[in-house]
Amino acid sequence: MTDATEHLQQRVLHHLATIYRDVEHVDDLEAIMARILATMRLDEVNSTPEHFINHWDQQDVVLITYGDSICGQQQQPLKYLHQFLDDHCKGIINSVHILPFFPYSSDDGFAVIDYSSVNDALGDWQDIEAIADDYRLMADLVINHCSSRSPWFQNFIKGSGTGSDYFMTADPTDDLSQVVRPRTSPLLRETETGNGLQHVWCTFSHDQVDLDFRNPEVLIAFISIIRQYLDSGVKLFRLDAVAFLWKIVGTSSINLPQTHECIRLLRCLIEHAVEDAVVITETNIPNQQNLSYFGNANEAHWIYNFSLPPLLVNTLVTGNCRYLKQWLMSMPPAQNGTAYFNFIASHDGIGLRPAEGLLSEEEINQLVNTMASFGGCVSWRTADHGQRKPYEINIALYDALQGTINGPDRWGEQRFLCAHSIMFALEGVPGIYIHSLLATGNDYEKLKHTQHNRSINRHRWDDQALAEALADDRTQHSKVLGHMRRLIDIRTKQPAFHPNATQFTLQLGGQLFGLWRQSLDRKQSIFSVSNVSDEPQLLNLGDINLIDNIDWFDLVAQEKVDLSGMEMELAPYQTVWITNIF
């Protein structure tokens, strides 16, 4: 046995002992450890991965998409997606997050029936592996719950077979008053089973039944799934809704210590199997709780920067960056081996929980009302003591930025591009939703058909209609895609935009949002300044301490900066990226 193998065994045993410390009837941890390592094919290892290594740089940009965001008559959707990536993203976007591509029963994929299969309406494993050959692939590990139509849950109903003891149950008389959830539906689902009436825990919906990780068999089942995904080319693992993983009656059942320990175990196994694989936690919760999922560079490699979407949209519709600056100045730099995952649009919506404590209740209500006036929907949650609070705004980002709190205006496209210019400049890895790349608006037809608020931002493009829209340079889709490609191309060539490069927030007033980024070798500086208002603003170049005996260049405008007057006028929603190396 190698020293590395012995070290791995001891680490896995330690994680298991911590996870199952208070669980009765789980005592043969060595046997569980042996099964886990055999499942991951880690019976013998020759090295121990380092925690503080960055397996990413400024060239990493992730496209977020459903497997069927583009459909047609001639071939299956995953092939259309691969063609779109090759035609429009190759050379500028190197990674793709394909949202759950498995057979499912609801929630557009997040109620998984079978984790081991590709939804045949999308394609097959060959299609997935072909994309993974050309792009760094992120896949969802929907780990908190599965579909009520899954074979596991059907065996639970029968009372026998694999899965019959995989699900979390509680008694209606239990004290569940502290449980934190993002939904208003009843927590428990009555289910007649071969073992009598059971009340199944459902954090999200009654079709999404929560798994019980107190049973080690559930953990081993998911480790087997992870091994299969690695073998199919998955390099980035998005742990969906992982904050709710461990439940204890009488507690909030969110962010529990056992949940963090499970993530540490999964990271340990994944990075021993594939050293440059990445674990990313999807924890749509208040900011400080979210930060805890970095651990000490031993939990998530990346965490979603969930506070960014509501704060950035609020900045651009109010014309004031005060709250965005306050938040950014409070954010610790991600240490090596970790990074923020920045996004401003997703398949869900603009989460509001991560804005709690950062925006006042009045600011949140103003934002909600403004988005509603732009055609958006609002999803609600049950807070403490049964209080109903807004949880999420559902709206396409292109429509969300069509105007300000005063109403729609003529600056929508510029405001939309300004939002992305800011995101591309921030510390972290940027993720772009395909419908932002394509400037897709609200899909009211899909919303009407499904009656689910999130459908408004889950449009399915017909391949021919998309081709025609992109071929016409007068459409918003063509114009935005061209601008976005250009910005990303510039970004990926700048060492100062490395996800872990130094970042300082500049103090330039309420209407100018500024950052200073410096490359890891300290050779390149970039001053990113954006006018977040609908009026021209003067930038005093002395305020950003430009040294006047060297040349400075605006990467966005592709022109030398004139220092003679030491002032620069920024048009509404204009961004400059001023650098000393170009």
Mind listing the pLDDT tens digit for each residue in 384-434?
Answer: 666 788 999 999 999 999 999 999 999 999 999 999 999 999 999 999 999
The DSSP result for 53-106, as a single string, is: -----TT--EEEE-TTSEE-SSS-HHHHHHHHIIIIITTT--EEEE---S-BSS
Q: Please indicate if the annotation marks 454 as binding a ligand.
A: yes
Are the C-beta atoms of residues 504 and 526 closer than 8 Å to each other? no
Residue 186 corresponds to which tokens in the numbers above? 């009843």
- E-strand ranges in 420-561 read 429-433, 461-462, 502-506, 512-518, 525-531, 537-540, 553-554, 559-560
CB-count exposure of residue 298 (10 Å: 0-12, 13-18, 19+): middle
Question: Domain 502-579, what fold?
Answer: Immunoglobulin-like (2.60.40)
- Any idea which residue has 């380092």 for tokens? 50
Pairwise CA distance, residues 498 & 427, whole Å? 7
For residue 276, what are the CA distances in angstroms to 150, 269, 438?
32, 12, 30
- Containing 486, the helix (H) or strand (E) segment is helix 476-491
Q: What does DSSP say about strands 95-98 and 62-65: parallel, antiparallel, or unpaired?
A: parallel
By three-state DSSP, how is residue 551 classified? coil
Q: Closest by alpha carbon to 32, among 181, 170, 213?
A: 213
Which residue(s) pair with 404 in the sheet? Answer: 407
Structure tokens at 299: 């939990």
Rg (CA), the chain: 24
**Catalytic positions:** 240
Return d(Cα 582, Cα 577) in angstroms, integer: 11
For residues 532 and 419, give the distance between their C-alpha atoms in angstroms, rounded to a whole number.
Answer: 9
Distances (CA, A) of 412 to 331, 466, 530: 29, 21, 15
Which CA distances in Å does 531 have to 311, 418, 566?
15, 8, 17
Q: Phi, psi (5° rounding) for residue 322?
A: -55, -50
| Residue 348 annotated in ligand binding | yes
Handedness of CA 409, 349, 125, 263 (dihedral sign): positive
Q: What is the pLDDT of residue 519?
A: 98
Does the annotation list 449 as a binding residue?
no
- What CATH number does the domain located at 145-210 have? 3.90.400.10
Say how far apart CA 306 and CA 491 lie, in whole Å: 22
Kindly report the length of the chain.
582
Listed residue (525, 570, 534) closest to 552, CA to CA: 525
Q: What is the dihedral of CA 266, 267, 270, 272, to 10 degrees?
A: -120
Low-confidence ranges of the chain (pLDDT < 70): 383-386
Q: Are 50 and 95 in contact (CB under 8 A)?
A: no
Is 15 known as a binding-site position? no
Tokens of 2: 């190698």
Residue 240 marked as a ligand binder:
yes
> What DSSP letter does each residue of 362-420 carry, written as one string?
HHHHHHHHHHHHTT-EEEEEE-GGG-EEEEEEE--HHHHTSEETTEE-TTHHHHHHHHH
Instruction: Consult the annotation and say whether 51 binds a ligand.
Output: no
Quick: pLDDT tens for 219-228.
999 999 999 9
- The answer to whether residues 513 and 324 touch, using CB atoms and an 8 Å cutoff, is yes
List the chain domain ranges.
Answer: 145-210, 502-579
Euclidean distance between CA atoms 20 and 31, whole angstroms: 14
The whole-number pLDDT of residue 384 equals: 67
Is 239 one of the annotated binding-site residues?
yes
β-bridge partners, 278: 236
pLDDT digits (tens, 9 = 90+) for 323-335: 999 999 999 999 9
Handedness of CA 495, 500, 504, 505 (dihedral sign): positive
Would you call 470 helix, strand, or coil by DSSP? helix
Closest CA to 267 of 289, 237, 247, 234: 237
- Is 388 annotated in a binding site? The answer is no
Please check whether residue 226 is in contact with residue 40, taking contact to mean a CB–CB distance below 8 angstroms.
yes
Domains 145-210 and 502-579 share a fold: no
175-to-172, 182, 258, 513 alpha-carbon distances in Å: 8, 18, 20, 47
Which 3 state secondary structure label does DSSP give 125? helix
pLDDT at residue number 385: 66
